[in-house]
Chain A
């Protein structure tokens, strides 16, 4: 069995999210150093505020300002901050019930150590220096002397109200493709194309994924296929992909390699795009140092008879 292949994989997905009226007022308020809650039908004040009552699902819109000071309702000491968290020095995660609120807000508390933190302690907001209308406009909480700051009596109406946030996210993975695909990728780097045969229906899958999708059994027997094959169908790409240095228009095709029972796909080069056709015989072109075929080009053979590949369309 070949060594397991591994490669770093970074998935980044910045979502642009629009805000409802209550979220918009709350996050705009943070930008202006004002904390707003929302009043429910039974008179509770929810901070952070939501658009709908979590108990009754009633639409709630009645904004009310609360104080930037409050009380810790529970906490957890985080001695190893992780990427993206509010502080990069050890801190306490806290749920804080702000003065005037009936529910608690999650954030970080900057404290010298766990001995300085307890449930019931008084804390106040430390505002971020640069604020944009986001939960991170609160830099963190810090210990308070117990005095209650007074709300400013804000109406909840702002000029230039925030209408959305951009939520950045990044997750880091180490990708390993598994046994069958590792074998395929390993062979490619030796300029061989190998598939795997299903022990039940005898079909050869290229690229192999380790299982026969018809029979639901593991494939294991490696079979070398190609390198030549037949274009079974194709499309003409007219839009340039980001970060892809290929002139448009070009042809992307399904190619049934000789000996394979499933077509794979690849780009067709070495022929004008408008002359590519079903049945065209092609072969892979490997570039210097390339670990996989750069594209496929015509072999010059006569076109394959439709009957020979119609089952592979």
Chain B
């Protein structure tokens, strides 16, 4: 790798159960302005812009083109969009910076889940021949994975409840979180998962600025250098996968260099408590690692932005000097089908 690239700014909105008084661009604009202000950059200074979102969430076709109004895309800018979590938009921007075509990149993501029924919306990402016609919702598929973990002796319901309560206790220090403090674990949604095992449904947006080399040092006192980043995917058919493991997450972590030195912090994108159990094992995170100090996705999970927020939260801890080497993870698809891992480091102090 010939260029060093860092996260130099991060901003996120509050995650709210509904933002019906705002359009998507109205929700997004404050975080775009926030990261530009943090770096002193203007739209015209940004070399590449990349975003992640899904029109299915709010049922608005080509909503990402409307969202571009918030960037100021005239005169024309160099821009791209992925119908994926913003973490994958960040991956594309990182690649663009590696080529030397740009020195700075603006990455953003947003999701408005409140207009629709997200459990049903997410069934539309499944195999359209054998699976989607049965409408298995996102909680049902995660519950199948949780039961497989329980059967294999990897966890039990009380341990899952403890993951939930730890996450929401940590979220007390995160003013952007949707759920924090003492939250009742609730009834079963789809057994064995209780309400408390599931991420809250919320609307939100996030933005990150990336910069290369010396530009990063000019824009940020302590850049969060991306030492490695990789993403991998597993077969779409649930029945061919071992749901108690996440080999794609492990491989992404290996390719990102996560296992070369220990990390002190990990921000995991686990929208269900059971998925944290799988990820801790796959990513070899022991008790010495601070997992999800932000509260993670169990405290706020704006779909399409929650993965980018993991990278942003990990980077912000490095910016603040609270971490020296952090792992950030994003997921997509049912039961941790697709996983992205980034390793971030601060300069030695």
Instruction: List A residues at the B interface (Cβ < 8 Å).
Output: 1, 4, 6, 9, 11, 15, 17, 19, 23, 27, 46-48, 50, 54-55, 73-79, 82-86, 93, 95, 97, 103-108, 114, 119, 134-136, 165, 167, 169, 171-182, 209-218
Between A and B, how many residue pairs show CB distances below 8 Å? 188
B190 engages A77 (CB within 8 Å): yes
Chain B residues whose CB sits within 8 angstroms of the CB of A135 once the complex forms: 129-131, 133-134
Chain B residues whose CB sits within 8 angstroms of the CB of A211 once the complex forms: 25-26, 29, 69-70
Chain A residues whose CB sits within 8 angstroms of the CB of B136 once the complex forms: 85, 93, 106
A93 engages B140 (CB within 8 Å): yes
CA distance A28 to B130 in the complex (A): 13
Q: A75-B147, A76-B143 are in contact. List 5 more A-B contacts (CB 8 A).
A: A54-B240, A82-B137, A106-B131, A167-B132, A214-B72
| Cβ-neighbour of A169 out of B60, B74, B124 (below 8 A) | B124
Chain A residues whose CB sits within 8 angstroms of the CB of B32 once the complex forms: 216
With A174-B115, A216-B32 known as contacts, the answer to whether A82 contacts B120 (CB < 8 A) is: yes
B21 engages A74 (CB within 8 Å): no
Task: Assess whether B183 is interfacial by the CB under 8 Å rule.
Answer: no
Chain A residues whose CB sits within 8 angstroms of the CB of B134 once the complex forms: 84-86, 106-108, 135-136
B243 engages A74 (CB within 8 Å): yes
CA distance A107 to B133 in the complex (A): 10
B33 to chain A, nearest CB (A): 8
| Cβ-neighbour of B239 out of A95, A114, A216 (below 8 A) | A95
| Cβ-neighbour of B59 out of A4, A9, A103, A216 (below 8 A) | A9
A46 engages B240 (CB within 8 Å): yes
Majority secondary structure, B binding face: helix
Can you give 29 contacting A-B residue pairs, CB < 8 Å? A4-B20, A47-B239, A76-B191, A79-B190, A82-B135, A82-B137, A85-B134, A86-B134, A93-B141, A93-B144, A97-B239, A104-B238, A106-B131, A106-B239, A108-B134, A114-B191, A119-B147, A135-B133, A171-B116, A172-B117, A174-B115, A175-B59, A176-B20, A210-B26, A212-B72, A214-B72, A215-B72, A216-B29, A217-B72
| Cβ-neighbour of A105 out of B132, B140, B239 (below 8 A) | B239
With A27-B129, A218-B26 known as contacts, the answer to whether A48 contacts B239 (CB < 8 A) is: yes
A163 to chain B, nearest CB (A): 13
B73 engages A213 (CB within 8 Å): yes
Chain B residues whose CB sits within 8 angstroms of the CB of A181 once the complex forms: 23
B74 engages A214 (CB within 8 Å): yes
| Cβ-neighbour of B238 out of A4, A17, A95, A136 (below 8 A) | A95
Task: Assess whether B202 is interfacial by the CB under 8 Å rule.
Answer: no
Chain B residues whose CB sits within 8 angstroms of the CB of A210 once the complex forms: 22-23, 25-26, 29, 69
B239 engages A103 (CB within 8 Å): yes
Please name the 9 residue pairs, one residue from A and one from B, whose CB atoms are nearest each other, closest first.
A216-B72, A178-B23, A76-B143, A104-B239, A84-B135, A54-B235, A77-B191, A173-B59, A211-B69
Chain B residues whose CB sits within 8 angstroms of the CB of A180 once the complex forms: 23, 26
A195 to chain B, nearest CB (A): 14
B272 to chain A, nearest CB (A): 12
Q: Which of B62-99 contact A (CB under 8 A)?
A: 66, 68-74
